[in-house]
Structure formats: C-alpha cells, structure tokens
Chains A and B, each alone.
Chain A
Amino acid sequence: MVDASTSAHGDLTLKNLTKRFGDFVAVDDLDLVIPEGSFFALLGPSGCGKTTTLRMVAGLEEPSSGSIFLGNTDITYEKPYKRPVNTVFQNYALFPHLTIYENVAFGLRRRGVKDVDAQVQKALELVELTHLASRKPNQLSGGQQQRIALARAIVNRPALLLLDEPLGALDLKLRRAMQIELKWIQTEVGITFVHVTHDQEEAMTMADTIAVMNEGKIEQMGSPADLYDNPRTSFVANFLGQSNLIKGSIVDASGDNKVVDIFGTKIALPAARNHAHDSSVLLGIRPEKIRIQPAGTSMSGNILIGGVISDASYIGVSTQYQVEMPWGQELMVFEQNDDGTPPLAKGDAVTISWEPIFTFGLAGDQDANAGSEANPDSE
C-alpha cells in the first residue's frame, strides 16, 4: 500500500486554498508555508476555518479550490490513506474494539511494516504507557487516551502530524503537563506538527510559529513573542492576551519615534511598530507593561495623567487595576506585587506610564474590540 506519495516529505505549502460550504466561506484563499520539522499552531476562535484547513490537509475534506503540496508532491486530491499524514483527533477517536496495542499497531499493519512489535513498544515507551498495552480504550483515563492517540499517529513516522484541539478535553493541570510533553516529543521525533487550537496559551507554550486565523483568513503569522509584542491587527492584539487600544492620530511622523496625539497628550510610538496606513491610529499597550503610581509622582517614558482607579483586584502574583481615563475609557494595568508597597485602592487618582518601545500602532479604522469576545481568557 506504500506508494510514491506516501514517502513524500518537505515543507507543507497551501496555495490559494479555499473551502466553501454553500454560501459560507470557511477558508478564504489561504496561502501558507509550514517549514519541515517545525511546531506550527493555527490559532483562532471556533468557526475561523482552522479545523477545516486541517481536514483538507488530512484529506478528510476536499478543497473548493487551491492546492496542497508536501515538498514537491501535490497531495490536494490524494486519498487520506495514501498521504504521509497522521492526525490526532479531537476526542482521540481510538478504536473501542481494539486493545491499546492493536490501536497503535493499526497503521503499521495496514502498511505491511515488518517489525510491528518493536515499533509499537517504542511508541508506547515514548508516551510511557507500555503497561497498558493489553487494555481497551474505555479502561483508560482521558490523559492516557490522549497519549495513545498521539502514539498511534507518530508510530507511523508521518511527514506531517496534525493535532486537532488535542488537549481540549483534558482538565487544566493535565493540559499544562501535556503541553510540555507534546513539545518534548516533537523535539524528540522531529516530525512537523501542525496544531489547531483556540487556546492562545496552548499555542504560545508549544509552537515555534503561530498563525492567527479569523474568518477564513490568516490575520498574522510569526513567533509567539513577535505576535504578542508586536500585533498588527486589533484582532490579534485582543485574541492573544489583553491589550489597551486607544484612539489617536499621528501628528509628527518624521523621526524614529512617531508622535501620536491621544486626547491632548503626546505619546511616542516607534516607527517600526506602527502598522497604521494613515494618521488615524489605534495606539496599543499591554496591561503588564504599564507602571502605575499615585497622582503627582514624577515618571518617565510615555505618561498619561488624570486616571482614577475604578476597580482593583488582587490576584496574588499581581494586582489588576481598571483605570478610568479623563476621556472615559477604562485601561487595564497589571502591576507585579514586588515592591512591598500596599496596592492602590479604588478611587485613588493615579498617573500611568510605560516605556515607548512597548507601544504599538494599529490601523485606526478597525474595531478596537475585535477578537476580545472570542478570547477564551475573557469568557
């Protein structure tokens, strides 16, 4: 059953990939290159087209148009069982009538591999579940099933491993442990992992590169740090963590730092971090980058005065403030509890400031709240 395409390997390339369901465009003219050997995450809210993209790569869904290449081999219309691609399904889809051993051996047997036993043992060792080989899937816990699903896929040494929300059904603690384990296994086996998730933390913990998807398109692609520190759209700024986005206009664009006027205050914005295409700008700053002091304290960097704390919640590692600004907007400020001073209280007048290098600028014509309602953190 092994043929030429099964041995295809190399970068995964999606060209103008489109999938329509009736009038609904699930995946919209997607172009993407995923380098061989990388841990790649497709991140987005439910319904953004990430799972459909994954299913097209697996061969479970046929694209409406566009093509999929693995290395130089066109696999767009190849049958799923002829692709060197394996999937870890959401809810695992282990075969309930087969033992764990036979589940893991399934792919090897279909391909007529010789040393099934040795390879199954090795895969079970990798996920540390050799002692469960003779059990049935329903006798395993969720975390164990998850690892077997992973072993069942990687035992085939595919060119590409697809993970469809693989940790979604696990509880928080197990999820954290599995994130680290998955990352370790990926480094160990060196297979390209394409990971679909709506959990930004999961994507950031594991992936080398993240593509943030929204409404069938890729909003932005890059390393986790790159996406977080320098988002290009309000969707990315809000979906990956939390952001304060303030409307302003660029009044001086001549220097390395552009000068932005927000409600009468001049703020410095590094030119390289400005993604606005005209003078209308959404000025962004992450809550944990902001320093907060009682009004009247002298501060450096970008300074905003006249704020009043409207809410303060102490959450141990930090205190989270809502600060109402003179123009009515509430800004979020996360302050580390590391200086021994008692936290500020609701109603206190404050001055806030941050280093100009943390400022980012987004095109001013976007919805400042895009992506925040889809962010699982704010649920």
Chain B
Amino acid sequence: MSTALLHTGTHEKKTVLSKKKLLPYWLLAPGIIWLVIFFLVPIYQLISTSTQTQGYGIGTYVQTYRFANFIDAITSSKAQLIRSFEYAFLATLFALIISYPLAYAVAFKSGRWKNTLLVLIVAPFFCSFLLRTVAWEQILGEQGLVIKVLRFAHILGAQDHLTATPFAVVAGLTYNFLPFMTLPLYASLERIDIRMMEASGDLYANALTTFRKVTVPLSMPGVVAGTLLTFIPAAGDYINAELLGNPGTKMIGNVIEARYLEIVDYPGAAALSLILMVTILVLVMAYVKRAGTEELV
C-alpha cells in the first residue's frame, strides 16, 4: 500500500519535472520556427540552386551538382567582387574617421544636448534608404551646390562630374551606413568611466596620450562593432552603385541583382551570393580574432 503511494508520488513528480524541462523549448519554438522558415530553408535553397544547370526553357533549372558554377561565377565577376570589398573598406574607413570625433563629442562634450544629438544621428532612418540615396544624386548632381562650389574653387574642371563616379558611390555608402558606425561607438565611449581619463592624466599622460592609450583601447568594442555593422552591409550593397555610379563602378550586389532579375541566371546568382557570404564570413572572423574583442568586452 505504502509502496504504491510512494510510486504514484514519484510518477507525478516526474511528469511535473518533464513539463518544466520542456518549457524552455516551448518558449524557444517561435524563434526556431522563424529561423527554419526564413533562414535555413532559404540557405538550403540557395546552396541547392548554386549547383543547378539550365533545363528546358528560360528560368527552369535542374540539379546537376555542377560545382564549376562557382568557378564560372568568380572568373566572370572577379573585378566587381574585388571592387565591392574595396568600396566597402573605404566607406568603413571614412565612416570611422567621421564617426569617432562625432561619437566622442556626443559622449563627453555635449552636456544637455546629448539626447538631441542622438536623435539627429538616428534621424536619417525616418526616411527610406532608397530616397536618401536618390537625394545624394541631387546633392552631388550638376545642379547641386557641392559641384558648383568645387568648380568655383577650381578643384573640379567644367567637364568633371561627381555623380557616376567611384567617389559618389563610396560617399553614398559612407553616408548611408554612418549611423551604424556612430551608435556602437557612442555606446562604448559613453560607457568609459571618466575616472579612467583622470587617472591617466594623474599618471603623467597628456590629453593626446590619454586618448591613444586609454580612450581608444577602451572604445575598441565599439570600433569593432561599428566597422562590422558598416562593412558587411556595404559590401553587399547595390543601391549606391546603381544610383550614384556608372557601369565601371558596379559592385557584386549589382551583378547578383542583374543575374537574378535580368538574365534570369539563378545558379550563377546563387553561386555569387554564396561566394560573397563566405568571403565576408572569413574576413570578419579573421578581423574579430585580430581585434581580440573577447578580451576587451
């Protein structure tokens, strides 16, 4: 009798326990389902498409496991691929140069204007990415103020242009991804204890040395986050090259877009997309390892 009671007791306990054990999975379920539908399935499809070849009729492809698609893709679009990383690198560099003083000023020198300035930094997000890039076309265009000033100052000749140049593309990329650089930088600078700088000054470091030896190292998590958030989307971007560039400034994003939507070469586009993804992943991993963020954060 008593053994039976004991038995049911432990049994009930077990079911309660297993219910409790399952709870985290139930809570994770929406996220996992989302990930499967919108990440794993598309990735599988992308990989699968990348080795297909043309079937009967335009836009129909069959799986033939043709890995040479990758070699074809690289040989035909090598220039655009390299250019993408060049432009993304330059845009990241310029964004860093512009953002660091800006984030520094907002974090340490803005006083009661801090919130206003932060809102201003985020303000461009209230307008669509596409519209902002079109606006840059106007700003740098023949009727714009920038070119008039540059021509007046004889920096540019009458036949020189700003739009449809690599300069315009890099400028557009820099501008569009600037908040992604500024915000993480601001966040990590703002977190620095002001006493660190006081301690540095107390230990015979002047303002410049304090900046180099204390402020910059302590803001490295922000630098790493900001450069990644700028570099990754910039490398895959095609809007800026499309609207602000010329045929000679095409980036890998433009090639992929054209293969999907114009040439209807799905395998080629898929192969290029994968190449872009893997290259970015390798670059980012090498970068993060070198920056040693795990030690800094």
Contacts and interface: CB of A to CB of B under 8 A. Distances in A.
Contacts of B12: none
Given A96-B218, A97-B217, A110 B195 contact: no
B214 A89 contact: no
Contacts of A81: 201-206
Contact of A58 (B196, B202, B209, B214): B202
Contact of A97 (B195, B199, B218): B218
Interface residues of A, number: 27
Given A97-B218, A110-B209, A91 B203 contact: no
A106 B199 CA distance: 10
Interface residues of B, number: 20
A1 B204 contact: yes
A89 B204 contact: no
A59 B205 CA distance: 13
Interface string B52-83: 00000000000000000000000000000000
A120 B236 CA distance: 50
Contact of B199 (A59, A93, A111, A156): A93
Given A79-B206, A81-B206, A91-B195, A97 B201 contact: no
Contacts of A86: 202-203
A87 B218 contact: no
Contacts of B27: none
B200 A106 contact: yes
A347 to B, nearest CB: 55
Contacts of B201: 59-60, 79-81
B296 interface: yes
Given A93-B193, A110-B209, A156 B203 contact: yes
B204 A97 contact: no
A93 B203 contact: no
Interface string B175-214: 0000000000000000001011011111111100100011
Contacts of A107: 203-204
Interface of A: 1, 6, 58-60, 79-82, 85-87, 89, 91, 93-98, 106-107, 110-111, 152-153, 156
21 contacts: A1-B204, A59-B202, A79-B206, A80-B198, A80-B202, A81-B202, A82-B204, A89-B195, A89-B202, A93-B195, A93-B198, A93-B199, A94-B199, A95-B199, A95-B200, A96-B218, A97-B217, A97-B296, A106-B213, A110-B204, A152-B203
Interface of B: 193, 195-196, 198-206, 209, 213-214, 217-218, 220, 295-296
User: Which A-B residue pairs are the 7 nearest by beta carbons?
Assistant: A107-B203, A110-B204, A93-B199, A93-B195, A80-B201, A97-B217, A87-B202
